[in-house]
Amino acid sequence: MKFQVQPSGPLLGEIEVPGDKSISHRAAILGAIAQGQTRIRGFLEGEDCLRTLTILSALGVEIEKLGPGHYVITGRGPAGLTEPENVLDVGNSGTTIRLLSGLLAGQRFMSILTGDDSIRKRPMERIIIPLTEMGACIRGRNNNRNAPLYIQGRQLYGVTYHSPVASAQVKSAILLAGLNAMGTTTVIEPLPSRDHTERMLMAFGACITAKGRTVILEPGQPLKGQEISIPGDISSAAFFIVAALIIPGSELLIKNVCVNPTRTGILKALQAMGAAIQILHEREEAGEPVADLMVKYSPLQGITVEPHWIPSLIDEIPILAVAASLARGTTIIRGAGELRLKETDRIKAITRELSRFGVQVEEVSDGMIITGTEEIIAADCNSYGDHRIAMAMTVMALRAAGTSTINDAAAVNVSFPNFFETLQTISGQIHK
């Protein structure tokens, strides 16, 4: 599916973005292994999170849909899942395959996880190694590096794992395995990654402590079903934040966004570039900080992104690169080698696609160097089947001189199914 994008006038008004993707996955998974019912409102009905629901159903979990984003999950307890009759297909979802591997490693049955072409290329040894250390029987294709993954569930044992990568998927896989392990599980990360699993485990009643880069889980505490209202995803909001910042005259209120400090690196980076972003009505929901964001058009200045900010803005680098393309001066993004291991090699994808718009971008091994320009030409660009590349290039196209085309734009359905409609309500200039 192709989308044609024309230059946009000011973005004005008020929007809400869909529920947080990371929190939606976790709410469904913990609901499935808790005791009693978990009611979820604001669940992200994007392809990734729906895959998690489908797989949980295949594992015997009763999931009832009561309305848009509104589900009731009847928990089966920590070891109550049942052997699936078929291979479990995660589609494009890295969070589904990695988190569920941790969960399935301690269940007493066999399962096989696979996914689309992108998933089958992504690294799985990062979970296979720690889970194997915990006693799991888990094997992957390509000498245990790639999916499909075969898991024969068995008794696990707690370990202390020093993760070589700051990855919430790795941390969460180990913690979910730790719930069914004997003894304490400790994960130590090089830099803190998003902490939604820890917050939600705490809310469900698990015995978990988190301090800085270290998380410690004591198994054995029953998880109790919860009522969860999922706030908007800052990773989805980021596309509209940057769109409003780069289109003169824009003033946009984005309501109900999760502003968990492990996720707000994008706000920090944009503010350092001179962005006018106000964080309003800060409150707490489901153990997560939530706020409304008021964003106004702002002339931006290039910056050097601090390497220790990277985990807190990793998914926002494609759209940060768009902001940098329109900033005065140079923006340096380094220490972001993980980008090469996402839905596509995002360093390559961003560099290639921004160049089509006439931006000067230099690809380096662990990031990119972008020199901003005022003259953006219209482009015919690719999403590489990657939702965040599709959305970032759409935002870029709003500032181009002429009509741009985004090929394979349906990728947005992975995390933001009504992205184009939302954009239309505030700009009115997108054509299918």
- Catalytic residue list: 315
Told to check if 315 binds ligand S3P by CB under 6 A, we report: yes
Residue 281: Cβ-neighbour burial (10 angstroms; 0-12, 13-18, 19+): exposed
Interface mask (CB under 6 A) for ligand S3P, residues 58-97, using x and -?
Answer: -------------------------------------x--
Spatial distance between the Cα atoms of 132 and 135, rounded to a whole number of angstroms:
5
Please say whether the beta carbons of 88 and 107 come within 8 A.
Answer: no
Helices (H), ranges, 276-397: 317-325, 346-356, 387-397
Please say whether the beta carbons of 204 and 15 come within 8 A.
Answer: no
Spatial distance between the Cα atoms of 344 and 332, rounded to a whole number of angstroms:
21
Which member of 131, 200, 215, 314 binds ligand S3P (CB under 6 A)? 314
Told to check if 226 binds ligand S3P by CB under 6 A, we report: no
The pairing of beta strand 185-188 with beta strand 160-162: parallel
Site for ligand S3P in 252-291 (CB under 6 A): none
Please say whether the beta carbons of 427 and 11 come within 8 A.
Answer: yes
Binding-residue total with ligand S3P (CB under 6 A): 12
Nearer to ligand S3P, 146 or 298 (CB): 146
Give me the least distance between CB of 315 and ligand S3P, in Å please. Answer: 5
Give me the least distance between CB of 126 and ligand S3P, in Å please. Answer: 8
* Structural tokens at position 357: 């718009």
Nearer to ligand S3P, 44 or 430 (CB): 44
Measured distance between the N- and C-terminal CA atoms of the chain, rounded to whole angstroms: 8
Give me the least distance between CB of 210 and ligand S3P, in Å please. Answer: 15
Give me the least distance between CB of 91 and ligand S3P, in Å please. Answer: 14
Told to check if 24 binds ligand S3P by CB under 6 A, we report: no
Give me the least distance between CB of 193 and ligand S3P, in Å please. Answer: 6
Nearer to ligand S3P, 22 or 185 (CB): 22
- The Cα-based distances of 167 to 39, 213, 301, 321, 384 in angstroms read 28, 11, 30, 21, 23
Spatial distance between the Cα atoms of 40 and 74, rounded to a whole number of angstroms:
11
Interface mask (CB under 6 A) for ligand S3P, residues 330-349, using x and -?
Answer: --------x-----------
Interface mask (CB under 6 A) for ligand S3P, residues 152-191, using x and -?
Answer: ---------------xxxx-x-------------------
Give me the least distance between CB of 22 and ligand S3P, in Å please. Answer: 3
Residue 50 CB contacts under 8 Å (≥ 6 apart), including other chains: none
Site for ligand S3P in 367-406 (CB under 6 A): none
Identify residue 287 by its one-letter amino acid code: G
Which residues are near ligand S3P by CB under 6 A? 22, 95, 167-170, 172, 193-194, 314-315, 338
